[in-house]
Amino acid sequence: MVDIKVSGRKVTVSDALKDRVDEKIGDALKVFDIQPMTCDVVLRVDKNPSNSERKSVEVTVFIRDRVVRVVTSGTDMYALIDEAADKVTRQLRKFKTRVVDRRQRRSAQRVEEASSADLASLIEPSEDEDDELVREKYIDLTPMTEEEALVQIDLIGHDFYVFMNATTGLTNVVYRRKNGGYGIIKPKIEEPDE
């Protein structure tokens, strides 16, 4: 859960406003679930009566070394919070797409051929190698497409991701290849007809 800091400028932040921000902006931040991520929300009311859009909501999301900022202006603070949440969702999706595209381009550029002698030199036998299971982990298999699984593998930063294929209902594994790109492991019954 992301910590959302809510403050007011020339307005008192009521519990109802804070709850609305926590609900709407919190849901918007679930699009890009990565740590560290913090969020500052500023609710502002301009005292100038000639300004028709006196109220505004500013949302600033700090994602590692990046910043996503959204500002909405209008007359109804609750509607502005909803509008800001929608804008944050769009901005984070766009940001996530750029991150995934950049990682895929970078991994494609690193494609190098390795000879069997190079690979053999990397394998060093260890004398204290044990063939015993050292860790057990349970996961919830979420139905998703292969593209969604590729996004997840990039978001969590692992070399593989286990998921339930939404099309077939079977368990699949996507993995990051050492020479660049991605691969997928499917059960034999999913093998294409020849």
46: its two tokens: 């301009």
Q: What is the mean pLDDT of residues 49-65?
A: 81
pLDDT at 104 over 70: no
Which tens digits make up the pLDDT trace of 118-146?
A: 555 555 555 555 556 667 777 778 788 88
Of 6-20, 54-68, 123-137, 164-178, the least confident: 123-137
- For 138-194, give the CATH class: alpha beta
CA atoms within 13 A on the CB side of 106: 8
Q: Where are the domains of the chain?
A: 3-107, 138-194
Question: Which option is the CATH number for 3-107: 3.40.50.720, 3.30.70.3000, 3.30.160.100, 3.40.50.300?
Answer: 3.30.160.100
| Percent of the chain whose pLDDT exceeds 90 | 21
Q: 59, 55, 56, 57: which is closest to 88 by C-alpha?
A: 59
pLDDT for 157: 67
User: What is the rounded average pLDDT of the residues 15-37?
Assistant: 83
Residue 27 in this model has a pLDDT that exceeds 80: yes
Instruction: Convert the pLDDT of each residue in 60-97 to its tens digit.
Output: 888 876 778 888 998 889 999 999 999 988 888 887 77
Q: Would the CATH topology of 3-107 be identical to that of 138-194? A: no
Whole-number pLDDT of residue 124: 53
Lowest mean pLDDT among 45-59, 82-96, 99-113: 99-113
Q: Does pLDDT of 106 surpass 80?
A: no
Who's near 33: CB < 8 A, 6+ residues apart? 155
Mean pLDDT of the chain: 79
